[in-house]
A and B are shown apart, each in its own frame.
Chain A
Amino acid sequence: MLIYIIKRLLLLPFLLLIFSVIAFLLIQAPPGDFLTSYIAELAASGSSMERAQIDALRALYGLDQPMYLQYFKWMGRILTGDLGVSLDWQRPISELIGERMGLTLALGLGTFVFTWLIAIPIGIFSATRKYSFFDYFFTVFNYFGVATPTFMTALVLMWIAFKYYGVSVTGLFSAEYIDAPWSWDRVVDLLQHLWLPVVILGLDGTARLARVMRANLLDELKKPYMEMARAKGLSEWRLVMKYPVRLALNPLVSTIGWYLPLIFSGSVIVATVMNLPTIGPMLLRALISQDMFLAGTIILFYMMLAVVGTLISDILLAWLDPRIRLDEE
């Protein structure tokens, strides 16, 4: 088991190296360098930058040097913990991301827990009562869940809340708590706002996971050991929960690898629509204003989340299913 984990961990720096190159190429993708467009923007708005300041920025990012040197410079700074300064916000990038990291993680993990708590019971229920009214109901629900873009759900719910209850459900805090220091009341306020985006983001995933769970469980329910256990006189409920559900969960664990990153990257849109103070809307703004180093850092952050998600699912799966870890060793 330990060898397996170490093997997976050794792969990590290699993956991050590739991802950092991809993120860097994305930064470089817009035509012209970002400093030129920034200066043009400043000039358009009537203000200007001092020559010395421009030269200092040019030297800092190595803009006059070839591409690979720029990459090493960027990587070198990131590895020493210096993420640079956002031109758009005029603040250190580490500070900007740090502020929003906690809420981003809370939203993502909250969604994750919500989907699993809802999807697994639905999956079990639909599989054990195959072709019942509830099974059909959830099948229809799942089809709609997959077909509805998350931002549509968000917009419709926002409209209903506004039209019928007169409340505006944007943001994650009430007005009086936005800049307040952390306190118990602020946490309660956060939870009162967080559940709606969690439900919206979770619907899509719930539909998918419930389908996977139902299919897995249906495969297990056909197997002979079920007859055997029934013949032994085990009650149906205990029987289902004890054997087939545990087996059916294994493939579900392997979905964490792609599902966790999907939640985080999918939250970008819902967060933008609902105006949540997470990293997503910041990425959109950075991309539109060509604040490319901020955008690159955020993309790198999302990539890291994806890697961590895969890692967690691999380790969990190896822990749950001995066939996998024995195979690898």
Chain B
Amino acid sequence: MTSQTTLSSEARENVKDEAFDVAPNWKLVWWRFKKHRLALVSAFVLFGIILIALFPDFFSIQDPNKSSARESFMPPQGISFFHDGSFQVHVKPLKGKRNPTTLKMEWGVDKKRILPLRFFTSGYEYEVFGLFKTDLHLFGIEKPSARNSFHLLGTDRLGRDQWSRLMHGTRVSLSIGLVAVGLSIFLGILLGGISGYYGGWPDLVIQRLIEILQSLPPIPIWMALTAALPRDWTVEQTYFAITLILSLLGWTTLGREVRGRFLSLREEDFVMAAKLSGCSQSRIIFRHMLPTFTSHIIATSTLAIPVMIINETFLSFLGLGLRPPAISWGVLLQEAQNLQSIALAPWLLLPGLAVIFTVLALNILGDGLRDAADPYS
């Protein structure tokens, strides 16, 4: 009996080894990545954030640009779960009173009423990718009005709902990171590849270019470049200009890495074999060389996205990046730029938490990918 179990476990071991031996590269990477629990959790968190970036309106409560002077600087409303001892998800309405001496609105909780929270409820109408119209929202209250208003994260100076603005900012901030990194990957692989594959004078020129770009102080350069963008450009134009500016200095790290890989791979036997069997140059590069380090490129790019997101936030925060009516996390934080506004409405700092958590998740995911990228080590 005992000998049988050892045999079967041995056999299982063998099967496992066999699976390991024949598994393609991506499978090995996946097996290793799965062991990194925190990275796995981060991947799920990011999946949620990407969903928000894809369908910001679905997660919003109210039109992000709808302003109302009567509802400015309302504090966040917490969600309660029990009412009169029974389970009922609800929020408590706020009642505003103007302070007769300071003339400031002071918001207090109206304890008499509750506003039940509805899920998959209907709200304002919006379009999904320009395909169809719907008014379905994840949550909201019934018939919002001035007396019955619901602002999960409070409102800003103009009485706009901060939660809905945060949802819409997610789309812009996340996509700027992705697009800027995408451009950096393109430039990095192109120039790093030329540099490493051909060597000689192109290598020399590109290496000097990388050195010069890397020794430039990034933030002042970005500030100068974004400040030079014409003020009358549309939101889309500024958006693409900023991604371009961010990736202009951002490709160098990847360029260096790609070059190093190409340099070491150039001497490998399998490249020689491909050359001798008459493969074209582009086939050698894209079919034989690039796949050996795609996992590295993915890991490095994942770690580059948070840097781009933080930089965009910096620039928009300073008023040099995206400008209203565009909504990004940096634009939202611009409202909290000085002590006066945060002393009055500290909840304006909350979009910063979105930045921190997204960057945290991306960094942990990137670290996990980097550790998993080399399955044979």
In the bound complex, residues from chain A placing their C-beta under 8 Å from that of B48 are: none
Report whether A31 and B217 are in contact in the complex, using a CB–CB cutoff of 8 Å.
no
* A263 (CB) vs chain B CBs: closest residue: B217
Instruction: State how many angstroms separate the Cβ of A177 from the closest Cβ of chain B.
Output: 20
Number of A-B contacts (CB under 8 A): 120
In the bound complex, residues from chain A placing their C-beta under 8 Å from that of B375 are: none
Instruction: State how many angstroms separate the Cβ of B18 from the closest Cβ of chain A.
Output: 32
Contact of A26 among B218, B219, B225, B355 (CB under 8 A): B225
Report whether A288 and B215 are in contact in the complex, using a CB–CB cutoff of 8 Å.
no
In the bound complex, residues from chain B placing their C-beta under 8 Å from that of A143 are: 360, 363-364
| Complex interface: stretch among B75-83, B126-134, B187-195, B314-322 | B314-322
Interface presence of A107 (CB below 8 A): no
Report whether A159 and B215 are in contact in the complex, using a CB–CB cutoff of 8 Å.
no
Contact of A30 among B227, B317, B318, B319 (CB under 8 A): B227
Q: Write out, one digit per residue, whether chain A residues 136-173 have a CB within 8 A of any chain B CB (1) or not (0).
A: 00000001101111011001101100110000101000
Name the interface residues of B349-363: CB closer than 8 Å to any CB of A. 349, 352, 355-357, 359-360, 363
In the bound complex, residues from chain B placing their C-beta under 8 Å from that of A298 are: 220
* B212 (CB) vs chain A CBs: closest residue: A18
Interface presence of A261 (CB below 8 A): yes
| Complex interface: stretch among B26-34, B95-103, B280-288, B338-346 | B338-346
In the bound complex, residues from chain A placing their C-beta under 8 Å from that of B218 are: 262, 265
Interface presence of B221 (CB below 8 A): yes
Interface presence of B313 (CB below 8 A): yes
Report whether A156 and B216 are in contact in the complex, using a CB–CB cutoff of 8 Å.
no
Instruction: State how many angstroms separate the Cβ of A307 from the closest Cβ of chain B.
Output: 7
Report whether B349 and A287 are in contact in the complex, using a CB–CB cutoff of 8 Å.
no
Question: A149-B355, A310-B215 are known contacts. Are A159 and B343 too (CB-CB below 8 A)?
Answer: yes
Question: A163-B343, A307-B215 are known contacts. Are A299 and B356 too (CB-CB below 8 A)?
Answer: no
Report whether A149 and B339 are in contact in the complex, using a CB–CB cutoff of 8 Å.
no
A158 to B317, CA, bound (A): 17
Report whether A26 and B215 are in contact in the complex, using a CB–CB cutoff of 8 Å.
no
Interface presence of A62 (CB below 8 A): no
Interface presence of A295 (CB below 8 A): yes
With most chain A CB atoms within 10 A of its CB, the pick from B217, B221, B346 is: B217
Question: A147-B306, A302-B217, A303-B217 are known contacts. Are A155 and B336 too (CB-CB below 8 A)?
Answer: yes
In the bound complex, residues from chain B placing their C-beta under 8 Å from that of A15 are: 212, 215
Report whether B219 and A268 are in contact in the complex, using a CB–CB cutoff of 8 Å.
yes
* A258 (CB) vs chain B CBs: closest residue: B214
Question: A146-B363, A265-B220, A283-B223 are known contacts. Are A152 and B228 too (CB-CB below 8 A)?
Answer: no
* A266 (CB) vs chain B CBs: closest residue: B219
How many chain B residues sit at the interface, stated as a range, is: 35 or more
* A269 (CB) vs chain B CBs: closest residue: B314
A168 to B339, CA, bound (A): 8
A30 to B223, CA, bound (A): 12
In the bound complex, residues from chain A placing their C-beta under 8 Å from that of B230 are: 31
In the bound complex, residues from chain A placing their C-beta under 8 Å from that of B352 are: 148-149, 152, 155-156
Instruction: State how many angstroms separate the Cβ of A225 from the closest Cβ of chain B.
Output: 24
In the bound complex, residues from chain A placing their C-beta under 8 Å from that of B220 are: 265, 268, 283, 298-299, 302
Name the interface residues of A53-87: CB closer than 8 Å to any CB of B. none
In the bound complex, residues from chain B placing their C-beta under 8 Å from that of A306 are: 215-217
Contact of B228 among A26, A144, A147 (CB under 8 A): A26
A29 to B227, CA, bound (A): 9
Instruction: State how many angstroms separate the Cβ of B230 from the closest Cβ of chain A.
Output: 6
In the bound complex, residues from chain A placing their C-beta under 8 Å from that of B342 are: 155, 158-159, 162
Instruction: State how many angstroms separate the Cβ of A203 from the closest Cβ of chain B.
Output: 13
Interface presence of A284 (CB below 8 A): yes
Question: A26-B221, A159-B346, A284-B223 are known contacts. Are A303 and B314 too (CB-CB below 8 A)?
Answer: no
Instruction: State how many angstroms separate the Cβ of A304 from the closest Cβ of chain B.
Output: 10
A21 to B191, CA, bound (A): 23
Report whether B313 and A149 are in contact in the complex, using a CB–CB cutoff of 8 Å.
yes
Instruction: State how many angstroms separate the Cβ of B176 from the closest Cβ of chain A.
Output: 15
* B352 (CB) vs chain A CBs: closest residue: A152
Report whether B339 and A158 are in contact in the complex, using a CB–CB cutoff of 8 Å.
yes
Instruction: State how many angstroms separate the Cβ of A262 from the closest Cβ of chain B.
Output: 8
In the bound complex, residues from chain A placing their C-beta under 8 Å from that of B114 are: none
Report whether A288 and B217 are in contact in the complex, using a CB–CB cutoff of 8 Å.
no
In the bound complex, residues from chain A placing their C-beta under 8 Å from that of B276 are: none
Name the interface residues of A64-122: CB closer than 8 Å to any CB of B. none
Interface presence of B292 (CB below 8 A): no
A29 to B222, CA, bound (A): 12
Name the interface residues of A204-242: CB closer than 8 Å to any CB of B. none
Report whether A29 and B339 are in contact in the complex, using a CB–CB cutoff of 8 Å.
no
Interface presence of A252 (CB below 8 A): no
In the bound complex, residues from chain B placing their C-beta under 8 Å from that of A299 are: 217, 220-221, 224
A156 to B339, CA, bound (A): 10
Interface presence of A199 (CB below 8 A): no
Interface presence of A249 (CB below 8 A): no
Report whether B219 and A287 are in contact in the complex, using a CB–CB cutoff of 8 Å.
no
Contact of B356 among A22, A152, A158 (CB under 8 A): A152
In the bound complex, residues from chain B placing their C-beta under 8 Å from that of A152 are: 333, 349, 352, 355-356
Contact of A147 among B214, B221, B346, B360 (CB under 8 A): B360
A151 to B337, CA, bound (A): 9
* A310 (CB) vs chain B CBs: closest residue: B215
In the bound complex, residues from chain B placing their C-beta under 8 Å from that of A22 are: 216, 221
Interface presence of A272 (CB below 8 A): yes
Report whether A144 and B217 are in contact in the complex, using a CB–CB cutoff of 8 Å.
no
* A152 (CB) vs chain B CBs: closest residue: B352
In the bound complex, residues from chain A placing their C-beta under 8 Å from that of B359 are: 146-147
Instruction: State how many angstroms separate the Cβ of A214 from the closest Cβ of chain B.
Output: 13
Given contacts A22-B216, A30-B227, A149-B317, 18 further A-B contacts (CB under 8 A): A19-B216, A22-B221, A26-B224, A143-B363, A146-B363, A147-B306, A152-B349, A158-B342, A159-B339, A257-B215, A261-B215, A265-B219, A265-B220, A269-B317, A284-B318, A288-B227, A302-B217, A303-B216
13 contacts between A and B (CB under 8 A): A22-B221, A26-B228, A147-B306, A147-B363, A151-B317, A156-B352, A158-B339, A261-B215, A262-B217, A265-B218, A265-B219, A265-B220, A306-B216
Seen from chain B, the residues whose Cβ lies within 8 Å of a Cβ on chain A are 212, 214-221, 223-225, 227-228, 230, 306, 310, 313-314, 317-320, 333, 336-339, 342-343, 346, 349, 352, 355-357, 359-360, 363-364
User: Which 9 A-B pairs have CB atoms at the shortest separation, nearest pair first?
Assistant: A29-B228, A287-B227, A265-B217, A265-B219, A147-B359, A152-B352, A147-B360, A302-B217, A26-B224
